[in-house]
Amino acid sequence: MKRREFSLSAATAVAVSSLSLPALAQSTAPKEGKDYIKLGKPVAPDAPAGKVEVIEFFWYSCGHCHTFEPVLNTWLKTVPANVVVRRVPVAFNASFVPAQKLYYALEGLGKIEPLHARVFRAIHVERQKLAKEEDIMAWAAKQPELDMAKFKEMYNSFSVAGQVRRATQLQEAYGVEGTPSMGVAGRYYTDGTHAGSMQAVLQVVNHLVGLSAKG
């Protein structure tokens, strides 16, 4: 599956970060087939009953994902209590798997904050290569928050391997074409190509959350 590049300018990032959830909701209603896709086969959400699951599909080496990350974090502060948002690292080929394992290892150790953002910074600001396991281990060894024995154990655990398989299943079920992109409630998919920009993607997601909450 070929990865597409989606544009997110600095101006767009500022615009999105200034929008609250109610403000997004006031936009013109997005259209199915244009701004988002309704999946032909729904995906069973992992969120608890009564919650609306929103997924961000991302890739650490994606420049647009790096730019979108602070925008997403700002938006996360505005979502209703009935929304569960989680990140899913994608793999368009086997070379992506080490980065997937990195994310799930950090998550399993409870170290997403602040290390998730630090991975993006290492790759896109400091220009470090973190695509291979040996590079990831070298980077991890320099992070004071990590116990390397525990990190290696988690990185190579059955738990992380299972999460990687689940991530691939979700990616295929949602028909992910590129990053960053969003899935909602196991029923809808949108990205920068469909919505027109990542600012519009968040508007679409807000709309779809409302639809999903109504059943």
Q: DSSP code of 214? A: T
What's the confidence (pLDDT) of residue 49? 87
What's the confidence (pLDDT) of residue 198? 84
What's the confidence (pLDDT) of residue 214? 76
The whole model's pTM is what?
0.86
Q: DSSP code of 29? A: P
Query: For residue range 110-151, what is the model confidence (pLDDT) as tens digits?
Result: 999 999 999 999 999 999 999 999 999 999 999 999 999 999
User: Which stretches of the chain score pLDDT less than 50?
Assistant: 1-26
Integer Cα distance of 26 and 28 in angstroms: 7
Which domains does the chain possess?
4-92+157-213 (3.40.30.10)
Whether residue 204 contacts residue 30, with contact meaning beta carbons closer than 8 Å, is answered with yes
Side-chain-side CA neighbours of 146 within 13 Å: the count stands at 28
What residues contact residue 59 under an 8 Å CB cut-off, 6+ apart?
3, 65, 89, 90, 92, 96, 99, 179
What residues contact residue 212 under an 8 Å CB cut-off, 6+ apart?
52, 184, 185, 187, 188
What's the confidence (pLDDT) of residue 25? 43
